[in-house]
Structure 1
Amino acid sequence: MKASLLLGILFTIVLDLGAQTDSVTYRPNKFNQLKIVPLPAIGSNPANGWLFGLAPSATWYMGEPSTTKISNFVGNFLYTTKKQWIFSSRSNIFSNENKLIFMGDWRYFLTSQFTYGLGSKAPNELDFNPNQGGSLWGKQGMDFSLIRFYETILKRIGDSKFYLGLGYHLDIHSKIENYNDAASDFNPIYSHDAYNSSLGFDLDRYTLSGVSLNGVMENRDKAVSPYEKNFAWIQYKINPAFLGSDQSSSLLMLDYRHYINLREQRKRNLIALWGFGNFVVSGDVPYMSLPSITWDMFGRSGRGYAQGRFRGENMVYGEAEWRFPLQQNKETFGGTIFLNAASFSSKTDNEKLFSKINPGYGVGFRVMINKQNRTTIAADYGFGQKGNSGFYLNINESF
């Protein structure tokens, strides 16, 4: 109840702040150069299989384009070949003259996902984990529901590229059921249940509710598909029990992205670099709320592995991608070659960060459907270790 009440209060504040900013500063051209792409969606990734439905995308300016960065919204209303329902919206909205940024990540999932245990050493094949009292380790099925509401409001510091702000973050996992056909003949202890039981969390439902302190440097030319400069985000998230969390905890997230032009005359030919870290600083968080691969805001990390393939108390991730045009004088078609690596720690298995690193690599094809706003359809195939691989079909660049 406390979490739901705070969610409603914050949502009202967000709407009120947005209305105040628009009415005072830029009412005449609130949706200047609005571009809506109401795409029927056909997507794919290892965790969901093929996805079908609608994926509306919109880009627009909340102020004069010469002084205001482009805002973007991506929604998903999808059903998958694995009998999952995916409803989500992600937004990055810049008010007039970039005075405020609103960053939103809202989700409702009725879904399933394989989980493998904690740490970078968790195997593909089903096994028993001696450090968890003989619980299962390796590929285990899980059905669950997720309600997520993340909203962050950032205010620009003077005329600089730096922003400070507050956020509210709510995750409710429920209807959690583990399964594995290979282990059905005996009464197994699943990795999820062994971890949660050892720390006093429920096995079928838990809540993480908290506020965050945020610092952002936004220096990219276009957030949806940058050609140059950089972006940095530091977030310290506090999840106290009095806001609805099952147990008090805190997490630190670090995100840095850099874009290096290889040809000034053709800025689409570039190297993109991404460094990402997510760390449990204090307390304990339930299993599905631990840092995990491909659970970043847009679900783009770890190409070559399924979402949730690796999970742990601490996570470090890095990626490099070469993006290049495939036409001499046009921007319609492009390609990418990427390389990534991730490492996870696990206190329960005494595994330290960087004791094992899991690399991924692959190639991609790009179709730019709106040159002015750089709206792009992205198709990638990634390869990981020990037979992990996947096809990914999305809108806009991975980062």
Structure 2
Amino acid sequence: MQKCLLVILSLMIYMETTAQKKAVSDSTTYKKHSMLALPVVYYSPETKFAFGALAYNLFKPHPLDSLAQTSYVRTAFIYTLNNQYLLEVDNQIFFRDDRRRMKNYFLLRSYPDSFYGIGQDIVPEEDRDLIKFFDLTFRSSYLFQLFDNMYLGARYQYYDAMDIEKPEENLLDTNDHLGKDGYRTSGLGIAFQWDTRNNILNASSGYFIELESEHNFKAIGSTYRYDWMRLDMRYYKRVNKSGVVATQFRGDFTSGDVPFESLAKLGDSRIMRGYFKGKYRDKVVMATQVEYRQHVWRRFGLVGFVGAGNIAPALDQFSTDQLKYNYGGGVRFMVKKKEELNIRIDYGIGNDDNSGFYVEISEAF
């Protein structure tokens, strides 16, 4: 997160709309959709004032289905006074009886990004490159139930980086990094899930194991040939009436001719909070975290978290030398009691003066 970044997000002012559906002969009414929307305002030297909204739409394709988890669509839109914009949409859809699952992500942005280099030896903050580009990301996976709690399916990903603007002297050109003048990736792969969580929006028991792969090659439109894989493992346990311990391991692994913006990145709003996403990037990133979640009073709760992670040019070169640590805490405000959906405000601290402030809807993991 930028040093001058200020985020103002109102907890107490939100909009909730519901669309209802009548069902069964006793005239009982069921909610089909439930919407939560929050305003977002911030300032940074690169964007000037920026404003937008973050919205969550909760629903079930079949309202009377007791087996499927609650589906959601998350939408974020940001516009800045420098005529920059960002539109992000992601969703998870759980079909009847949870026999099929679909997950999609879409990002369209014309937005500045910071580049510090690749690997452990990054440049200082004052020497980073501010890169402006227009890019589009789309990925989708569709899974079928194999056994209880186990799913297998296919995944597709498309990315296009265009109109890259760099300083006259910059790290991308100096080091001749792949993709420095723009590129396209197109990849096919598989997706696997083993999921026993009691609530995907705010789990208090169960585990989640997800393995996704992606193979980018020129025959389907990719500029470069490379492979990507992510392993995500989580475990949740209630330790007392109002406290939950959540643990996660996440590893991103790439190989081949990986362009600079598609490398594995350490840090974001979900894991290794406190590190600017992409400040550390390489072909391999592995990180783990533990979080304690405590309900305090009525709709309010507190969390504390610690984590560690690192980057490497290859899996067999991963080391705990120069390990990155993070710790922090946050506040929770429950806005949807039935789904146990929280607004979260987190502050994370890392090594070497890295820190970040995050406001989101739903838990980090």
TM-score (norm 1): 0.78
1:378–1:394 CA contact under 8 A, matched in 2: yes
Number of corresponding residues = 335
Bigger mean CA offset, 80-89 vs 375-384: 80-89
User: How many angstroms does 1:220 deviate by?
Assistant: 1.1
**Match in the other structure for 2:263:** 290
User: How many angstroms does 1:257 deviate by?
Assistant: 1.0
SS of match in other structure, 1:142: strand
Amino acid of the structure 2 residue aligned with 1:108: L
1-side partners of 2:339 and 2:48: how far apart? Answer: 29
2-side partners of 1:339 and 1:93: how far apart? Answer: 31
**Match in the other structure for 1:253:** 230
Q: 1:305 to 1:222 in 2, by over 3 A?
A: same
User: How many angstroms does 1:334 deviate by?
Assistant: 0.5
2:338 is equivalent to residue 368 of structure 1: no
2-side partners of 1:171 and 1:313: how far apart? Answer: 17
Choose which of 261, 268, 276 in structure 1 pairs with 2:250: 276
Choose which of 283, 286, 295 in structure 2 pairs with 1:325: 295
**Match in the other structure for 1:341:** 308
1-side partners of 2:46 and 2:345: how far apart? Answer: 16
Greater RCO between the two (CA within 8 Å, min separation 6)? Answer: 1
2-side partners of 1:337 and 1:193: how far apart? Answer: 41
User: How many angstroms does 1:83 deviate by?
Assistant: 5.8
Choose which of 169, 173, 186 in structure 2 pairs with 1:193: 173
2:148 is equivalent to residue 163 of structure 1: no
1-side partners of 2:280 and 2:220: how far apart? Answer: 28
**Match in the other structure for 2:346:** 380
Q: 1:257 to 1:290 in 2, by over 3 A?
A: same
Unaligned runs of 5+ in 2: 1-27
Q: 1:189 to 1:171 in 2, by over 3 A?
A: same
**Match in the other structure for 1:68:** 68
Bigger mean CA offset, 36-45 vs 306-315: 36-45
Amino acid of the structure 2 residue aligned with 1:75: T
1-side partners of 2:189 and 2:283: how far apart? Answer: 18
**Match in the other structure for 2:90:** 90
2-side partners of 1:251 and 1:289: how far apart? Answer: 9
Aligned counterparts, 1:148-227, within 5 A: 148-158=137-147, 160-179=148-167, 188-190=169-171, 192-195=172-175, 197=176, 201-227=178-204
User: How many angstroms does 1:140 deviate by?
Assistant: 2.2
Q: 1:49 to 1:292 in 2, by over 3 A?
A: farther
Identity, in percent, stands at 24
2:267–2:274 CA contact under 8 A, matched in 1: no
Bigger mean CA offset, 41-50 vs 66-75: 41-50
2:69–2:199 CA contact under 8 A, matched in 1: yes
User: How many angstroms does 1:125 deviate by?
Assistant: 4.4
Q: 1:326 to 1:46 in 2, by over 3 A?
A: farther
User: How many angstroms does 1:233 deviate by?
Assistant: 0.6
2:277 is equivalent to residue 307 of structure 1: yes
Q: C-alpha root-mean-square deviation of aligned residues, in Å? A: 2.6
**Deviation digits for residues 192-239 of structure 1 (CA, Å, limit 9, x no counterpart):** 3345x36xx442210111111111112111111111111111112111
1-side partners of 2:251 and 2:206: how far apart? Answer: 20
2-side partners of 1:377 and 1:44: how far apart? Answer: 21
Choose which of 239, 252, 272 in structure 2 pairs with 1:262: 239
Choose which of 132, 139, 147 in structure 1 pairs with 2:136: 147
**Deviation digits for residues 121-174 of structure 1 (CA, Å, limit 9, x no counterpart):** 425346xxxxxxxxxxx622211222001110000114x100000011011112
1-side partners of 2:352 and 2:329: how far apart? Answer: 18
1:335–1:365 CA contact under 8 A, matched in 2: yes
1-side partners of 2:132 and 2:252: how far apart? Answer: 25
Higher helix share: 1
**Match in the other structure for 1:54:** 53
Q: 1:151 to 1:261 in 2, by over 3 A?
A: same
Amino acid of the structure 1 residue aligned with 2:173: D
2-side partners of 1:80 and 1:124: how far apart? Answer: 26
1-side partners of 2:295 and 2:195: how far apart? Answer: 25
2:360 is equivalent to residue 394 of structure 1: yes
- Runs of 4+ displaced beyond 6 Å: 43-50
Higher strand share: 2
Q: 1:294 to 1:358 in 2, by over 3 A?
A: closer
**Match in the other structure for 2:18:** none
1:45–1:390 CA contact under 8 A, matched in 2: no
